[in-house]
Structure 1
Amino acid sequence: MRRLTPVALAIAAACGSSADAAPMNKAMAVSYVNGIMPVMDQRTYVHALLDQFEARYSSAGGQFRYDGQAWFGSDYNKLWLKSEGTVGTDGRFGDGDHEILYDRSVSRYFDVQSGVRLDIDRGPTRAWGAIGLQGLALYFFDAEATFYFSDRGVAARLTGSYDIFITNRLILQPQAELNFYSNSDSARGVGRGLSDIDAGLRLRYEWHRKIAPYIGVTYSNMFYENRFFQKTFSQTGNGVNFTFGIRSWF
């Protein structure tokens, strides 16, 4: 029997008159349920993104920073892990934020997340409950808004970033993160109100789609009560920094 290409088989199946189309019709009968092709939205996937893995330098000192997240699950339900932190010139780990979240899709572009956040670094450990939104805002702007609560009060974090494609591989990314606290925590160097900001403008080149080195300029600062804590904890890396690092995902 003459072998047909997939395109020819599809045409023959649509016409319904060729014997050569029988294998195609049989395959289609298996794939379709009640005339409707099932949506493959319950398969499980794994995705991890190391968004920031960088060194920062300025006249005041240097700092290493990482920020990454990973998830496992389907299109509707996921287990989400997030972690970020810094290492100063003294070699001590700070600003450690680690989250374990249940993620549920509520619309085409946004998910609701809830779980726990653990502040684990050189300071005393703190535990928070967490609930928030993460997804793509208008014009594909990556946005996160998360609220935290514990016996020490409430807190909030707003983050956002946007990819500007200069070419298919050269991408400029503005990014910002804001943290708010209802109460100060002197043991961890956290002030009340708008506690700190971390922002950056990074230019990366995706010489391999999963590995992209970048350079940029970052800015971090503390406000109000945190200015006192900044001196007490001898924190470096604040202000404007020259930054270089690598971004990776799988």
Structure 2
Amino acid sequence: YWFEMENSLRINEDGDMQFINETEYDWQLSQVSYLQPRLEVVANLTDSEKYDRQSGLSNIRVGLRYRHEIVREVAPYVGVYYSKALGNTADALKAEGKSTSETGVVLGARIWF
């Protein structure tokens, strides 16, 4: 009944800081099938000219994955996501004439041994 969260604070040699939060939840559909909603939030704590990042809440990504365990150690998945740039990052992308949102499909496998 718990959410899995991964929080990261990234600091590079120039002192640029970025905070990333990834949250997911495994909803068990059957003994071997799972539906996994996901949320990722990125906040830039400082401006970074080197990486063209603006300070503030940068982007948000929501997604949904379906995973099927062939055996406990091997579980392929397929999913969709929607990503949206926010705040100063969105303003910078608009000024460059670029899109501030993205939709995509992911395919992969969860493998452990």
TM-score with structure 2 setting the length = 0.77
Asked which structure has the greater CA Rg, the reply is 1
- Residue 143 of structure 1 and its aligned partner are, at CA, apart by 1.3
Gaps of 5+ in 2: none
Provide the residue aligned with 1:219 in structure 2.
82
Whether the aligned pair in 2 keeps the contact of 1:144 and 1:160 (CA below 8 Å) is yes
Which amino acid letter does the alignment assign opposite residue 241 of structure 1? G
- Please name the residue that 1:180 is paired with: 43
Flag the 1:169–1:181 CA change in 2: closer, same or farther, 3 A.
Answer: same
Under a length normalisation based on structure 1, what TM-score does the superposition of the two structures give? 0.38
Q: Residue 28 of structure 1 aligns with which residue?
A: none
Q: Is the 8 A contact 1:200 1:219 kept in 2?
A: yes
The equivalent of 2:27 in structure 1 is 164
Count the aligned residue pairs. 111
Q: Deviations over 1:159-199 (max 9, x none)?
A: 11111100011100111111111222233132211112222
1:101 matched residue in structure 2 = none
Tell me, which stretches of 5 or more residues in structure 1 are unaligned? 1-138
What CA distance in whole angstroms lies between the structure 1 residues aligned with 2:30 and 2:17? 42
- SS of the equivalent of 1:225 reads helix
Contact 1:161/1:174 (<8 A) preserved: yes
Matches within 5 A, 1:48-197: 139-149=1-11, 151-197=14-60
Q: Distance in 2 between matches of 1:168 and 1:233?
A: 48
